[in-house]
Amino acid sequence: MVWQIEVPGLAEARRRAGAGLFSRVAGPSGPEDRDRIHRADGPRWFGPERPIRQVHGDASMFVGGLRALLLQSLHPLAMAAVAAHSGYRSDPWGRLQRTSLFLATTTFGTAEDAERAVARVRGVHGRVRGIASDGRRYRASDPHLVRWVHVAEVDSFLRCYQRYGARPLDDAECDRYVLDAARIATALGVPDPPRTRVELAAQLAAYRPELAGTPEAREAARFLLIHPPLPLVARAPYAVLAATAVATLPGWARWPLRLPYLPVAEHTAVRLAGHGLVAGIRWAMSSPEPTG
């Protein structure tokens, strides 16, 4: 039997760091939600062998989530809905916690809880509508917009997992991940979500003529990357997270948001720092257990 041993002071630092991260992501009801999601009896949408559990349970989701928000902001109608209705500036942690709870519930929770989570989101979407700054009307329930949000998320989560995840997926597993995610998109009202990486790339490319760096999108990017409401001690790690997320974006997504492209730094220092950050998050949020 081989035991993982930690210095007592280091173990306490690990516990406190993990608790702080979990509190930010899950909110005050996080422990109760976690117990309900993981311990409740009943069938799940995804079994323990499915790739979606591997991807969504990994620390690389911190990078993937930020990348997804930046990419999603490029659709003017989706961004108009977020700017007018989401409260991302006044309550950014609340929005993060609601998104985190939805992903955890649909990925790991019982089918009954997943269906309730989807119903809540569809109910919110049904009430969100308005007119964008360019005069076009939008509805958050529009399947075309819901699919854009889904495609941007799946592309971001998978790409960031493949670069920073604990065990990158092989080609067949990548396709199974996209297929798993399609189950959630269909429940949210997307009639034709991508089910393979080829379909994912094709759908992402099909949206490109609709994308633009609106003032609202650039303001959101500045808020997310430069001015997030964080304590001083968290700003340096978050700067690494922000640089890592930006470095995973394609060039065509950066210029509209006025984001830099520094290939030498991104392939060396930023990537190395990103691996270190994700490994640190993974270490903090996992408890040492005996192995043998």
Average pLDDT score over residue span 150-178: 98
pLDDT tens readout for residues 122-148: 999 999 999 999 999 999 999 999 999
Least confident of 2-11, 15-24, 139-148, 170-179: 2-11
Percentage of the chain with pLDDT > 90?
Answer: 76
Cα 288-32-224 angle, rounded to 5 deg: 80
**Quick check: 242 pLDDT over 70?**
yes
Average pLDDT score over residue span 168-177: 98
Which pLDDT score is estimated for 175? 98
**Quick check: 290 pLDDT over 60?**
no
pLDDT tens readout for residues 91-108: 777 888 899 999 999 999
What is this structure's pTM? 0.92
Q: How confident is the model at residue 287 (pLDDT cuts 50, 70, 90)?
A: low
CA dist 150 → 124, 187, 240 (Å): 16, 12, 25
CA dihedral 29, 97, 143, 219 (to 10 degrees): 160
By the 8 A CB rule, do 74 and 257 touch?
yes
**Which tokens belong to 195?**
């089910």
Long-range contacts of range 251-254, CB-CB < 8 Å, 24 or more positions apart? 252/208, 253/70, 253/71, 253/74, 253/211
Instruction: Quote the CA–CA distance of 112 and 287 in Å, as a whole number.
Output: 29
23: Cβ contacts below 8 Å, ≥ 6 apart: 30
Q: Tell me what the pLDDT averaged over the chain comes to.
A: 91
